[in-house]
Amino acid sequence: MNEISGILLVIVSAIFVNNVVFARFLGICPYLGVSRKLDTALGMGFAVTFVMTIATAIGYVLHYGILVPYKIEFMQTVMFILVIASLVQLVEIILKKVSKTLYNSLGIFLPLITTNCAILGVALIAIQEDYSFVTSVVFAFFSAMGFILAILLFAGIREKLEEADVPKLFENVPIGLISAAILSLAFMGFSGLVK
C-alpha cells in the first residue's frame, strides 16, 4: 500500500509539481524549437516519451549493475550519454523496419533527442533520488507526460500568438518566453501539493 501511494505521489509530482519544463528547466530547446505547430509538438512529445522511458530503465540497470559494483560512479555522465546516443540510433533503425508510419511521424525528431537534456536529466535524477527500478520507470514515463502537457499547452498558445498584434520589439522569441513565464506561474499553483 505504501509502495502504491509512493508511486502515485511520484506521478503527480512528475506531471504537475516538478514539471520537467516549468520547474526543472529541462528540455527547453525542443520546447521552444518545435512548439510552433500542435502536431509536430505531439510528435516530439511521443518520441521523447519513448526514449526517455527506455533510457532511464537501461541507465538504472547499468548504474547498479556495472558502475556501483566496480566503484566507477564518476563514469556516469559518459556512460549515460553513450546509452542515450546508441539508443536513439537503435530506435531509429527498429522503427524504420517495423513501422513505416511511425517512423515517418517520429523519424525527424529522433536525432534531435540525443541533445535533449530532459532525457539525460531525468535518468540522472532517478539515480540521485534513489528511486527503485519500478519507481524510476514510472517517474520517467510521467515526466515525459509532463513534457507533453507543457509543449502542447505552449503550442496552443503560440498558434494564437501568430495572429496577435505583438509589439515589434517582443516579436517571436521574447513574447514566447514571456508566455512561458505566465504558464510557469500557473504551474506554480501546484507547488505544495506534494512535498
Partner 1 sequence: MNEALNIFTRGFVKENPVTKMLLGLCPVLAVTTSAINGLGMGLATTFVLLGSNVVISLASKAIPSTVRIPSFILVIATFVTIVDLLIQAFSPELNQALGIFIPLIVVNCMILGRAEAFASRNGLWYSVIDAVGMGLGFTFALFLLSALREVLGSGTIFNIPLVGEDASTILVFALPPGAFAGLGLIIAGLNLLEQKMGGSK
Q: Which residues bind partner 1 (CB under 8 A)?
A: 22-29, 32-33, 74-78, 81-82, 85-86, 114-117, 119-121, 124-125, 128, 169-170, 173-178, 180-182, 184-185, 188
Cβ 142 to partner 1, closest distance in Å? 18
Closer CB to partner 1, residue 85 or residue 102?
85
Cβ 1 to partner 1, closest distance in Å? 31
Task: Calculate the alpha carbon distances from 144 to 49, 183, 186, 191 in Å.
Answer: 5, 18, 19, 19
Task: Calculate the alpha carbon distances from 56 to 3, 13, 127, 159 in Å.
Answer: 20, 17, 9, 33
CA 133 distance to own-chain centroid = 18
Task: Calculate the alpha carbon distances from 34 to 42, 95, 123, 154 in Å.
Answer: 9, 21, 22, 10
Cβ 45 to partner 1, closest distance in Å? 17
Closer CB to partner 1, residue 102 or residue 175?
175
Cβ 168 to partner 1, closest distance in Å? 8
Q: List the grid coordinates of 166.
A: 505583438
Closer CB to partner 1, residue 65 or residue 174?
174
